[in-house]
A and B are shown apart, each in its own frame.
Chain A
Amino acid sequence: MTASHAPSGELNTIPGLLAHNAATIGDQPASREKEFGIWQSWTWSEVAEQVNALSLGLLDIGLNAGDHVAIIGSNRPRLYWAIVAAQNVGAVPVPLYSDAVAAEMAYALDHCSARFAIVENQEQVDKVLELGDQLKNLEKVVYVDPRGMRKYDHGKLHAYSDVQQKGRAAADTLAPELQKRLSALDYDSTCVMLYTSGTTGNPKGVVLSNRNIIESAKSSSAFDNLVTGDSVLAYLPMAWVGDFIFSVGQSYWTGFCVSCPESADTMQSDLREIGPSYFFAPPRYFETLLTRVMIRMEDAGKRQLKMFHYFMDHARKVGPALLDGKSVGIIDRLKYALGRVLVYGPLLNTIGMSRVRVGYTAGEAIGPEIFEFYRSIGINLKQLYGQTEASVFITLQPDGEVRADTVGVPGPGVEIKIDDNGEVHYRSPGVFVEYYKNPESTASTKDRDGWVATGDAGFIEDGTGHLRIIDRAKDVGKMANGAMFAPKYVENKLKFYPNILEAVVFGAGTDMCTAFINIDLTAVGNWAERNNIGYGSYQELAGHPQVLETILHHVEDVNKSVAQDAMLSGCQIHRFLVLHKELDADDGEMTRTRKVRRNVVDKRYADLVKALYSSAKEVFIDTEVTYEDGHKGSISATLKILDAAVVAQKAKAA
């Protein structure tokens, strides 16, 4: 089935859409999950039954309308059903990041006073129970996977299937109550609450209504012609607004099937088996994948390698043009078709993207070479720009107008304006209701007319109407001599090198820019193996003289490229060091969505920053680190500080 079916206007809640799908496309697959090596699937009617049983069960164990229900775990159909079941009974689902340590979860659980938590497995149960008395409101924990749970005290705990059984058993007595709760829902009742990752300060609970989610899902599905027959793989955190829009909003609106991988480790092979037609991944995913492809190609035979490079060169030349529907000569077309048979087709199949019709990346800037690579082999990869507060979509790239350096045009129904400081503001039907229990932040972010400040600095490009983002507005500063300082711009250029995983550039209010750099263990480790360079640890590899030299070359290349831009040429990097550990979310240095928390890094590594601005050649550092299980240790190292050549600005101009 490929035709789009359009739910009528009164279907204004997610539970309403589920009922509609069960009635109209009840025999189509809605959820899939790989379990015990086999893909299990559930049709829309089956999902409706499961959700109904769980809703009744939740009523039975005492869930009230208006309660908050924490949903914690990796992508599992049963957790997605739990979201809808919570909505059914008038409660507010609050998906949380499942890889967060207990202490991090405590804030959100306490802030929303969750009475119920529906969690994936023993690991998550342990985290919630560990918090114990800190969470005075938490009464019940429902777990999906019973493994290892036998000996737990079941005073607070319920197995998911038991709750469903209770619901089925009490269906007759509870059905009227469920009906009453359902009919109380409307377009403006809360659909979900999502916590922002909190680059600064505590996370904020973003309240999104049915209107926000359904309007966003509706317009974005129309923008990319998403239909019932499409398919996605849900592998990004459930607490992230993007996953909510794709796996719940758009899926329930258009009726396409959401597949969940067996485990995080098998995602790549599950992707290959499912072959989704609609795919979203952060830039880092595409970078890592490309690095892996290239590393594996280096192991290929000479003839294959030659063929690969020959056809890849051709793809780079004509692939993007073909994708955009521009005119390409017949010879080039034939050569591309041959390349498709010999190289691009098998490659797409290997990376699980043979069927990708629409692919998106967002969250961070993507390297132009990486972006072009995927487009050249025929993946319609596009960029979008969005926020939790906007129910994702602010701008998207329409087919045929895709470029690496813009984030597209305003989505349907979205208005954009740039204020005097260069900050981007928007207004749309997707704009959030409020920050939960935080009227001050709500007021400072959203004005009376519904305009929301993004916190990003950018501009609308003349002629094309595309939005370009420069940096976080608060990070854009001035250097001592008054020149513009945009750290992200330089960091992104650095991160486009496969050897560099992360970079943090300093320079606001000073007379020169400096940087911390994290090496990419996959790329650099592979290079070390190839060149017979032995290393015992990340730290040793990061401090290896040849690694430092390679990074120095990269930094100097970036300086040359930065110098081209008259406005930003002051941002060239004079001195830098390679960090002895990866910046890590467990240490609070990054958010769970892997964005650097600049203020934390500033504070934690103040000594290193000071050394960068002295004439020191090396610096000693002792850092406290937090392991995954929460216990702490420390690592110390002596780091070398390197001086990079910069392009003199005056000389360039003359």
Chain B
Amino acid sequence: MNKMDSYITEDGRTIGAAVMEVKNITLKFGGVTAIKDISFDIRRGEIRAIIGPNGAGKTSMLNVINGFYHPQEGQINYQGQTRSKMKPYEAAVSGISRTFQNVALFAGMSTLDNIMAGRQLKMHKNFLWQMLRFGPAMDEEIENRKFCENIIDFLEIQAIRKTPVGQLPYGLQKRVELGRALAAEPSLLLLDEPMAGMNVEEKEDMSRFILDVNDQLGTTIALIEHDMGVVMDIADRVVVMDYGRKIADGYPADVQANQAVIDAYLGVAS
């Protein structure tokens, strides 16, 4: 498959050329090598999954992508620009947003306020204007509130709009966090275990939302997930990591049949 070819999936989505290329990344913490020489790409419009057993280096990989960790070797090519070191702020400005494995919301703030916080990058009026309840900052806020209300409608969380998120059950907090990430209108959305700790019904809901985000908003998604069943259902392509190395990369069906993957998941001694 040529990297530049775009193609149309069975369910009618268009997958474009690569938006991000990760090349030969190696990440070390002192003497520990968390990621060793990993390369893969993420194509426009696809759902790309990174899977692997505990401690395989998945979250580290995500942290590298979004500029939180700086790899010792290798580079990341994103939207035509090559950077070896990127600050999280720059990642956000360039259209990457993410959610966290352990929900990282503002617990005392309402659902709406949390989502509005994700909109911060789109608000440009200065602090003094923002203190007033009229004028350009107010117009800007109304404009952005409209956008956030669309997200609330999209994620079906109207009933908890004004509820402090600390009071919400875990599954809903995850949904609010997704909402906050969406508020930044990302071109690349990174999801760190969006379904961890959820029951079957919540997982089904979350899968539905991820597919809808990808399909209706056209957002490219890279996600880390433990649940193989979910990954195989929703991902277009899968990278499998084990002990910091890439052991497989390809379509779900191919990855599932790969002996190295089976060994890693079943724990066969190598």
Contact A151 B152, beta carbon cutoff 8 Å:
no
Q: Which chain B residues numbered 61 to 117 have a C-beta less than 8 Å away from chain A?
A: 112
Taken residue by residue from 146 to 177, chain B's Cβ proximity to chain A (1 for < 8 Å, 0 otherwise) reads as 10011011101011011000000000000000
Contact B159 A265, beta carbon cutoff 8 Å:
yes
Across the interface, which residues of A come within 8 angstroms of B154, CB to CB? 147
Across the interface, which residues of B come within 8 angstroms of A151, CB to CB? 11-12
Q: Which chain B residues numbered 222 to 236 have a C-beta less than 8 Å away from chain A?
A: none
Whether A262 sits at the interface, judged by CB under 8 Å, is yes
Across the interface, which residues of B come within 8 angstroms of A35, CB to CB? 153
Shortest B62–chain A CB gap in Å is 29
Whether A325 sits at the interface, judged by CB under 8 Å, is no
Contact A263 B156, beta carbon cutoff 8 Å:
yes
Across the interface, which residues of A come within 8 angstroms of B212, CB to CB? 148
Across the interface, which residues of A come within 8 angstroms of B152, CB to CB? 36-37
Whether B270 sits at the interface, judged by CB under 8 Å, is no
Whether B216 sits at the interface, judged by CB under 8 Å, is yes
> What count of chain A residues pass the 8 Å CB interface test?
13
Nearest B residue to A627, CB-CB: B201
Shortest B140–chain A CB gap in Å is 17
Q: Which chain B residues numbered 169 to 201 have a C-beta less than 8 Å away from chain A?
A: none
> What count of chain B residues pass the 8 Å CB interface test?
17
Query: Assuming the A-B contacts A148-B216, A150-B216, A151-B12, are A36 and B159 also in contact, with contact meaning beta carbons closer than 8 angstroms in the complex?
Result: no
Across the interface, which residues of A come within 8 angstroms of B149, CB to CB? 36-38
Shortest A236–chain B CB gap in Å is 18
Nearest B residue to A267, CB-CB: B159
Q: Which chain A residues numbered 25 to 47 have a C-beta less than 8 Å away from chain B?
A: 35-38
Whether A634 sits at the interface, judged by CB under 8 Å, is no
Shortest B127–chain A CB gap in Å is 25
Shortest A120–chain B CB gap in Å is 14
For A36, give its contact among B11, B150, B162 (CB under 8 Å).
B150
Contact A263 B159, beta carbon cutoff 8 Å:
yes
| Interface class of chain A by DSSP | loop
Interface centre among A37, A147, A150, A269, by most B CB within 10 Å?
A37
Taken residue by residue from 469 to 496, chain A's Cβ proximity to chain B (1 for < 8 Å, 0 otherwise) reads as 0000000000000000000000000000
For B158, give its contact among A148, A150, A262 (CB under 8 Å).
A262
Contact B146 A36, beta carbon cutoff 8 Å:
yes
Across the interface, which residues of B come within 8 angstroms of A147, CB to CB? 154, 216
Query: Assuming the A-B contacts A36-B146, A36-B149, A36-B153, are A263 and B158 also in contact, with contact meaning beta carbons closer than 8 angstroms in the complex?
Result: yes
Across the interface, which residues of B come within 8 angstroms of A262, CB to CB? 158
A269 to B111, CA, bound (A): 15
Q: Which chain A residues numbered 613 to 644 have a C-beta less than 8 Å away from chain B?
A: none
A37 to B113, CA, bound (A): 13
A37 to B160, CA, bound (A): 11
Contact B216 A265, beta carbon cutoff 8 Å:
no
Whether A266 sits at the interface, judged by CB under 8 Å, is yes
Contact B216 A37, beta carbon cutoff 8 Å:
no
Q: Which chain A residues numbered 154 to 180 have a C-beta less than 8 Å away from chain B?
A: none
A36 to B149, CA, bound (A): 5
Taken residue by residue from 260 to 288, chain A's Cβ proximity to chain B (1 for < 8 Å, 0 otherwise) reads as 00110110010000000000000000000
Shortest A627–chain B CB gap in Å is 10
Q: Which chain A residues numbered 108 to 159 have a C-beta less than 8 Å away from chain B?
A: 147-148, 150-151
Across the interface, which residues of A come within 8 angstroms of B162, CB to CB? 269
Across the interface, which residues of B come within 8 angstroms of A148, CB to CB? 212, 216
A554 to B152, CA, bound (A): 44
A147 to B12, CA, bound (A): 17
A269 to B158, CA, bound (A): 10
Shortest B14–chain A CB gap in Å is 12
Nearest A residue to B12, CB-CB: A151
Shortest A38–chain B CB gap in Å is 8
Across the interface, which residues of A come within 8 angstroms of B12, CB to CB? 151
A147 to B216, CA, bound (A): 9
A263 to B154, CA, bound (A): 13
Shortest B157–chain A CB gap in Å is 9
Nearest A residue to B159, CB-CB: A265
Across the interface, which residues of A come within 8 angstroms of B216, CB to CB? 147-148, 150
Across the interface, which residues of A come within 8 angstroms of B11, CB to CB? 151
Query: Assuming the A-B contacts A36-B146, A148-B216, A151-B12, are A266 and B159 also in contact, with contact meaning beta carbons closer than 8 angstroms in the complex?
Result: yes
A263 to B157, CA, bound (A): 10
A266 to B161, CA, bound (A): 9
Q: Which chain A residues numbered 2 to 55 have a C-beta less than 8 Å away from chain B?
A: 35-38
Shortest A418–chain B CB gap in Å is 46
A150 to B145, CA, bound (A): 25
A238 to B162, CA, bound (A): 28
Shortest A220–chain B CB gap in Å is 32
A148 to B161, CA, bound (A): 23
Across the interface, which residues of A come within 8 angstroms of B145, CB to CB? 37
Nearest A residue to B156, CB-CB: A263
29 pairs of residues in contact across A and B, judged by CB atoms under 8 Å: A35-B153, A36-B146, A36-B149, A36-B150, A36-B152, A36-B153, A37-B112, A37-B145, A37-B149, A37-B152, A37-B158, A37-B161, A38-B149, A147-B154, A147-B216, A148-B212, A148-B216, A151-B11, A151-B12, A262-B158, A263-B156, A263-B158, A263-B159, A265-B158, A265-B159, A266-B158, A266-B159, A269-B159, A269-B162
Q: Which 5 A-B pairs have the closest CB atoms?
A: A265-B159, A36-B149, A266-B159, A37-B149, A262-B158
Q: A36-B149, A150-B216 are in contact. List 6 more A-B contacts (CB 8 A).
A: A36-B150, A37-B145, A37-B161, A147-B154, A263-B159, A265-B158
